Amino acid sequence: MFECDKCGICCKHIDSIPQLKDFDSGNGRCIHLLDNNLCEIYFERPDICNVERMYEIYFKESMSKEEYMRQNKLGCNELKQKYKKA
């Protein structure tokens, strides 16, 4: 399972994700991100926002779950380095 620390950075920078264009509030922030960095539609969120679901649909034939989770953690850390205030 992907361990999200709920920093909200991925949900505050969705403007480069075509599948989420209808969720962009106009400044890159998801319209469903609450002030506490939780998702207002968590249980109905799009597949692209669900790490485990994306693995099952798109990646389970091409990589192990361990490798997929490792890649997601790396991507998460890259976003944090790029956007987190020092």
Residues 5-56 have pLDDT tens digits of 999 999 999 999 999 999 999 999 999 999 999 999 999 999 999 999 999 9
pLDDT in tens, 60-78: 999 999 999 999 999 999 9
- pTM summary value: 0.88
CB 33 within 8 A of CB 40: yes
Cβ proximity of 83 and 13 under 8 Å: yes
Residue 1 within a domain: no
Residue 22 token pair: 């209808």
* Residue-number span of the structural domain to which 55 is assigned: 10-83
Please report whether residue 5 resides in a domain.
no
Residue 86 has pLDDT above 60, yes or no: no
Which residue bears the tokens 């693995």? 55
Q: Which two tokens stand for residue 11?
A: 């949900």
Distances (CA, A) of 47 to 36, 55, 76, 83, 85: 22, 10, 17, 23, 28
Is 16 part of any domain? yes
Give the pLDDT of residue 68.
97
Domain membership flag for residue 40 = yes
**How many domains would you assign to the chain?**
1
Tell me if 15 is assigned to some domain: yes
